[in-house]
Amino acid sequence: MIRDAILACGVAMSYAAQLSVPGLPFGYGELFLALWIMLSIGRVLAGGQLVVRPALIRVAGFWLIITLALSIGTIVGYLTTVLYLSVVMHDVVAYLLLICVTCLAAAEPDADRRLRSTAWWVVAIANACFIVQVALGWGWIHQSGVDPWYWDRFRGWSENPNQLALYCALLGPLALHLATTTGNPWARLAGLSSLILTIYVGRLTKSDTYLYTTVLVGLIFLGLRVRTWLAAGDGKVSLSRQVTLLLMIGFLPLAISMTPYIVTEVGSVEQFALSLTKDKGGEATTETAALRIHLWGDALGKGLTSGSLGLGPGPHLERPPISYSQFLPRPFEAHNTILDLYTQGGLVAVLALAWIVGAAALCAWRAKLDALFVLVVSIVIFGMPHLIIRHPIVWFALTICLVAGTPRTISATSSDLR
């Protein structure tokens, strides 16, 4: 249980870039992850059991491919461009932490149970941290060295609001999975109640991506729950299922008949949707879109110039023009997970990422774990306008999906692997 709590602290606090360990160049999230890795390795060296399962094979295979792709990209980058050692080492250390965490977590005995226990800790710790950050944001308490606001957007302990929004976007489906798969009514209530604070903090960040992700994921989850409910009758016919089926059958002609009225309200619906964005669809939204297009085009060009082999870890884009004055410091990454990985490891790395994310989604789908499936959907949606591959919560979520959906195991002790 102690190791589960330590891992949860590392996952839940990895976004807290404004908090750093006194005298050390890294934060508390990295410290907890490194401590968990050392404890897990110590357990294995002391004769602890390892379990080889399909999830571990997939995770280890993915990281092996990524390592080879980034190594080739580094050689290409060294020969064709200028590589900055500090940013390269930043990414290398981040990837090493993720490799150790995902592989060791997938190799744990009873990995499904341990990851579930850790997930409960993650939700609990994250919500406790949210309470402290909200108190900071509204001035109820003070913490030196922390500025919880980025202009009018809430960022809490993170470097920018989008980092905090990512964690809120993934913590929601994770808590929903725990709540919908537990038989304890109090645990179910706790899991569902945690969504209130998570959604509140997510909206404070004023992240458009968080808004779109939450709405879309909510609709998909409701559809999947209806599918699961209809399929859970074991062939029995009930009045409630008959009524639901009749409503679903009658929905299409009803929707067609309402089309003329819906068309007349398109303008008001559009205005309502824009009112939910961070500046009501104003200049900031337009400038952000222009910046994204500029960076994505530059990233695609860099990737093609490298022969689709990549340029190694780290950012490789030129800083955007000074006209994007609101973005300080001006970004030099593509802010798109696929394109950023394309500039680092080329086409091979992108295909490997698509494979592991697709495998996680397929595992959750086959196991009929609806909340885990929408958790992967959240990762995909949020990864389009942001670089999220270095965040531990992303890989923690993917590992849970892979382990929960592939229970078959082949046991091995540490002595058997020597």
Please list the pLDDT of the chain residue by residue as tens digits (418 residues). 788 999 999 999 999 989 888 777 788 899 999 999 999 999 989 888 888 889 999 999 999 999 999 999 999 988 888 777 878 888 899 999 999 999 999 998 888 999 999 999 999 999 999 999 999 999 999 988 899 999 889 999 999 999 999 999 999 999 999 999 998 999 999 999 999 999 999 999 999 899 999 999 999 998 888 777 776 655 554 555 555 555 555 555 645 554 554 444 444 444 444 444 555 555 556 666 777 787 888 888 888 988 899 888 988 777 666 555 455 454 477 789 999 999 999 999 999 999 999 999 999 999 889 999 999 999 999 999 899 999 999 999 999 999 987 765 554 444 443 4
Residue closest to 368 by CA, chosen among 175, 186, 230, 193: 230
Q: Where are the beta strands (DSSP E) in 178-308?
A: none
Predicted TM-score (pTM) of the model is: 0.86
Residue closest to 393 by CA, chosen among 75, 125, 107: 125
Where is 144: in which H helix or E strand?
none
Where is 21: in which H helix or E strand?
none
Beta bridge partners of 413: 49
In the DSSP assignment, the letter for residue 411 is: E
List the Cα angle 391/395/399 in 5-degree steps.
165
Angstrom distance (rounded) from CA 289 to CA 292: 5
Q: Are 40 and 10 in contact (CB under 8 A)?
A: no
Other CB atoms within 10 Å distance of the CB of residue 280 = 12
Q: Are 158 and 164 in contact (CB under 8 A)?
A: yes
Q: Are 119 and 174 in contact (CB under 8 A)?
A: yes
Angstrom distance (rounded) from CA 317 to CA 340: 9
Angstrom distance (rounded) from CA 378 to CA 370: 12
End-to-end Cα distance, the chain: 28
Burial (CB count within 10 angstroms: exposed 0-12, middle 13-18, buried 19+), residue 114: middle
Residue closest to 13 by CA, chosen among 5, 23, 22: 5
- The pLDDT assigned to 263 comes to 46
Domain boundaries defined on the chain: 2-237+278-328+342-417
Q: Are 310 and 349 in contact (CB under 8 A)?
A: yes
Peptide bond preceding 315: is omega within 30 degrees of 0, i.e. cis?
no
